[in-house]
Structure 1
């Protein structure tokens, strides 16, 4: 029997190919429009279950286990797709939740199929603490850091007029840019690529320079600069502390 990662990655790879590359766009539109009344919903779920039976047999599952796999994958896919069809299919949060649920199903199946992985082996693995530490770092640089930066900027935001034309832009666009910026900086810091951190900050500064150069508001310039520096400093600091923690754990 294959190991957990082999089974999980194989199932997830086939699912992603079937869900994003082979599923016709008109099927997605039909599911979105007719929800549970769309035949495409049931056909797609059944096809996903049947296709996954092929690697299951190759990986050594008997026919009973394969039949159970087809039923489990088909029903779980049907329920998840039905939930997604009743909501905005293109909303980022819903797409992430949908694919995470699929991944959890495949992880549980792979966990059941393999004998090399148990809860005890996960908890006692040498890399478990490091993995949790890295996960903690990514969780910290997203919403918690955004909230802290927002609270620090509150006392400065009142100096900028609410109807200033320079403040026009995408709704929550600045927050998303901050998320992406901190994820990149944290990743580069964890792998020790500090030059890339400087490249991210420089690239953002170049794009911002043209916008701020046209603005006559010194308040706006200082506001954006403070926010950018807080974002960069927080992500770099968290990444550095986690890197030190990983080095201590490895010794």
Structure 2
């Protein structure tokens, strides 16, 4: 149970981070905050919302379910952990914004490295906060949720889906954008019309959801069927365009990897 309580805090903070950093941030805001302090500040305020919601639920949960309320020291520890995550997130994003503003030519490689460094630092802070909170508190609410297998499993599934959807799509674009095939003169207007904007991201999201579903029900062999169906649909373009074939393979392997890592982290940790 002790390890599960640590995982519970880690999953809660990770879920709040994913919601605040990805789902509460529009594509427009994400682009504007890269070199704009005011937009970065707006993002940081929105980022704090899921954590504040968790804090409210944490304070009200004992009253709603008639269990012992947390002590003042435990409440202070939770507030301190949340404040640490929110403040550190703001500091990291503001430093990143300043670095981007001071960089004359912010190339693709630097964008990728900045994104990876940014997310790794956020995740380290979340890990430290969860570990510290686990040592400092003994939450009856956490034990009740964990002991309710259906409720806890439902939360894990929601977290799993939240990670492999929008964050996975954005991370792929940030990390592997330099491998995206460029349109060349041989691609005419008719060819361009066959590709719908956003279709690739939607396909990627659906394939990861299907893979995740099969992993949860322990049908790993069925993952191969998804890859086969996807390859058949893209066979003509794969066989005629080597650059697209390479990009397609990177995307496919990335989808498998991030879904598998998220599954192992959430359901096997």
Which one scores higher on RCO, CA 8 angstroms, separation ≥ 6? 2
TM-score of the superposed pair, with normalisation by structure 2? 0.42
What TM-score comes out, normalization by structure 1 length? 0.45
Larger radius of gyration: 1
